[in-house]
Amino acid sequence: MKLEFASKSTNESFARVVVAAFAAQLDPTLEELSDIKTAVSEAVTNAIIHGYEYGEGIITVECSIYESIIEIEISDSGKGIGDLKEAMEPFFTSKPNLERSGMGFTVMETFMDSLEVESMEGKGTVIKMSKRIRELSDKER
Protein backbone atom coordinates (compact mmCIF):
# COMPACT_ATOMS: atom_id res chain seq x y z
CA MET A 1 0.00 0.00 0.00
CA LYS A 2 1.37 3.41 -0.85
CA LEU A 3 -0.16 6.70 0.18
CA GLU A 4 0.97 10.22 -0.72
CA PHE A 5 -0.48 13.33 0.83
CA ALA A 6 0.28 17.01 1.40
CA SER A 7 2.11 18.02 4.55
CA LYS A 8 -0.88 19.47 6.40
CA SER A 9 -1.88 18.89 10.01
CA THR A 10 -5.38 17.87 8.89
CA ASN A 11 -3.87 14.91 7.01
CA GLU A 12 -2.33 13.42 10.14
CA SER A 13 -5.55 11.73 11.26
CA PHE A 14 -6.21 10.69 7.65
CA ALA A 15 -2.87 8.84 7.47
CA ARG A 16 -3.46 7.20 10.83
CA VAL A 17 -6.89 5.90 9.80
CA VAL A 18 -5.65 4.58 6.44
CA VAL A 19 -2.80 2.63 8.07
CA ALA A 20 -5.21 1.25 10.68
CA ALA A 21 -7.60 0.12 7.92
CA PHE A 22 -4.71 -1.59 6.12
CA ALA A 23 -3.53 -3.26 9.35
CA ALA A 24 -7.05 -4.55 10.06
CA GLN A 25 -6.50 -7.51 7.71
CA LEU A 26 -4.09 -8.94 10.32
CA ASP A 27 -6.95 -8.96 12.83
CA PRO A 28 -5.08 -6.94 15.48
CA THR A 29 -6.41 -6.34 18.98
CA LEU A 30 -7.68 -2.83 19.75
CA GLU A 31 -4.50 -2.28 21.75
CA GLU A 32 -2.24 -3.28 18.85
CA LEU A 33 -4.21 -1.06 16.50
CA SER A 34 -3.95 1.86 18.89
CA ASP A 35 -0.17 1.33 19.20
CA ILE A 36 0.20 1.45 15.40
CA LYS A 37 -1.95 4.58 15.11
CA THR A 38 0.04 6.34 17.82
CA ALA A 39 3.39 5.53 16.14
CA VAL A 40 2.11 6.68 12.72
CA SER A 41 0.83 9.92 14.25
CA GLU A 42 4.21 10.68 15.79
CA ALA A 43 6.10 10.05 12.54
CA VAL A 44 3.67 12.04 10.37
CA THR A 45 3.58 14.92 12.87
CA ASN A 46 7.39 15.00 12.82
CA ALA A 47 7.43 15.17 9.01
CA ILE A 48 4.96 18.09 9.09
CA ILE A 49 6.50 20.18 11.85
CA HIS A 50 10.21 19.32 11.66
CA GLY A 51 10.68 17.98 8.11
CA TYR A 52 8.71 20.68 6.30
CA GLU A 53 8.42 23.12 9.22
CA TYR A 54 4.73 23.61 8.41
CA GLY A 55 5.58 24.44 4.77
CA GLU A 56 4.55 22.63 1.62
CA GLY A 57 5.73 19.11 0.96
CA ILE A 58 4.69 15.56 0.23
CA ILE A 59 4.63 12.80 2.83
CA THR A 60 4.67 9.18 1.69
CA VAL A 61 3.46 6.23 3.72
CA GLU A 62 4.13 2.69 2.53
CA CYS A 63 2.87 -0.42 4.30
CA SER A 64 3.58 -4.09 3.69
CA ILE A 65 2.48 -7.23 5.41
CA TYR A 66 4.76 -10.25 5.78
CA GLU A 67 2.91 -13.10 7.45
CA SER A 68 1.87 -11.57 10.77
CA ILE A 69 4.21 -8.55 10.61
CA ILE A 70 3.23 -5.11 9.41
CA GLU A 71 6.01 -2.86 8.09
CA ILE A 72 5.37 0.87 7.82
CA GLU A 73 7.64 3.38 6.07
CA ILE A 74 7.01 7.10 6.45
CA SER A 75 9.12 9.46 4.32
CA ASP A 76 9.50 13.16 3.79
CA SER A 77 11.82 15.18 1.55
CA GLY A 78 12.25 17.91 4.10
CA LYS A 79 15.19 19.33 5.98
CA GLY A 80 16.51 16.08 7.41
CA ILE A 81 18.24 15.43 10.74
CA GLY A 82 21.86 16.41 11.35
CA ASP A 83 22.57 14.48 14.53
CA LEU A 84 20.36 11.40 14.52
CA LYS A 85 21.73 9.96 17.75
CA GLU A 86 20.89 13.15 19.63
CA ALA A 87 17.47 13.47 17.94
CA MET A 88 16.49 9.99 19.08
CA GLU A 89 17.41 10.54 22.74
CA PRO A 90 14.36 10.68 25.00
CA PHE A 91 13.38 14.31 25.78
CA PHE A 92 15.55 15.79 23.00
CA THR A 93 13.62 18.34 20.97
CA SER A 94 14.85 21.05 18.61
CA LYS A 95 11.61 22.96 19.23
CA PRO A 96 11.23 23.37 23.01
CA ASN A 97 9.48 26.72 22.46
CA LEU A 98 6.64 24.91 20.67
CA GLU A 99 6.07 22.85 23.83
CA ARG A 100 7.26 19.63 22.23
CA SER A 101 8.39 17.05 24.76
CA GLY A 102 10.96 15.25 22.61
CA MET A 103 9.26 11.90 23.11
CA GLY A 104 8.11 11.09 19.56
CA PHE A 105 10.91 8.64 18.71
CA THR A 106 10.68 7.07 22.16
CA VAL A 107 6.93 6.54 21.66
CA MET A 108 7.53 4.93 18.23
CA GLU A 109 10.19 2.65 19.74
CA THR A 110 7.94 1.69 22.64
CA PHE A 111 4.80 0.93 20.65
CA MET A 112 6.43 -0.85 17.71
CA ASP A 113 8.79 -3.87 17.66
CA SER A 114 11.44 -2.18 15.55
CA LEU A 115 12.34 1.35 14.49
CA GLU A 116 14.95 2.43 11.95
CA VAL A 117 15.59 6.03 10.94
CA GLU A 118 17.53 7.15 7.87
CA SER A 119 18.02 10.84 7.36
CA MET A 120 20.18 13.24 5.40
CA GLU A 121 20.36 16.96 6.02
CA GLY A 122 18.66 18.82 3.20
CA LYS A 123 17.34 15.58 1.66
CA GLY A 124 14.77 14.20 4.04
CA THR A 125 13.94 11.45 6.46
CA VAL A 126 12.70 7.86 6.22
CA ILE A 127 11.19 6.14 9.25
CA LYS A 128 10.83 2.35 9.05
CA MET A 129 8.98 0.53 11.75
CA SER A 130 7.42 -2.88 12.14
CA LYS A 131 5.14 -4.71 14.49
CA ARG A 132 4.21 -8.34 14.82
CA ILE A 133 0.51 -8.85 15.31
CA ARG A 134 0.02 -11.58 17.85
CA GLU A 135 -2.22 -14.37 16.66
CA LEU A 136 -5.00 -14.99 19.12
CA SER A 137 -5.87 -18.53 20.13
CA ASP A 138 -9.50 -19.58 19.64
CA LYS A 139 -10.09 -19.25 23.37
CA GLU A 140 -9.01 -15.56 23.36
CA ARG A 141 -11.30 -14.54 20.50
Residues that bind ligand ATP (CB under 6 A): 42, 46-47, 50-51, 76, 78-81, 87, 92-95, 100-105, 125
When the beta carbons of 7 and 46 are compared against Mg ion, the nearer one is: 46
Q: Which of these, 52, 50, 51, 56, lies nearest to 100 by C-alpha position? A: 50
Among 7, 41, 46, 75, binds Mg ion (CB under 5 A): 46
Here's the x/- map for Mg ion, 54-93, by CB under 5 A: it reads as ----------------------------------------
Q: Which of these, 133, 19, 10, lies nearest to 73 by C-alpha position? A: 19
31 is catalytic: no
Long-range contacts of residues 114-123, Cβ cutoff 8 Å, at least 24 apart: 117/81, 117/84, 117/87, 117/88, 119/80, 119/81, 119/84, 120/80, 121/79, 121/80, 121/81, 121/82, 122/79, 122/80, 123/77, 123/80
Given the residues 71, 100, 109, 132, the one annotated as active site? 100
**From the CB of 97, what's the least distance to ligand ATP, in Å?**
11
**Among ligand ATP, Mg ion, none, what does residue 132 contact (CB within 5–8 Å per kind)?**
none
97 is catalytic: no
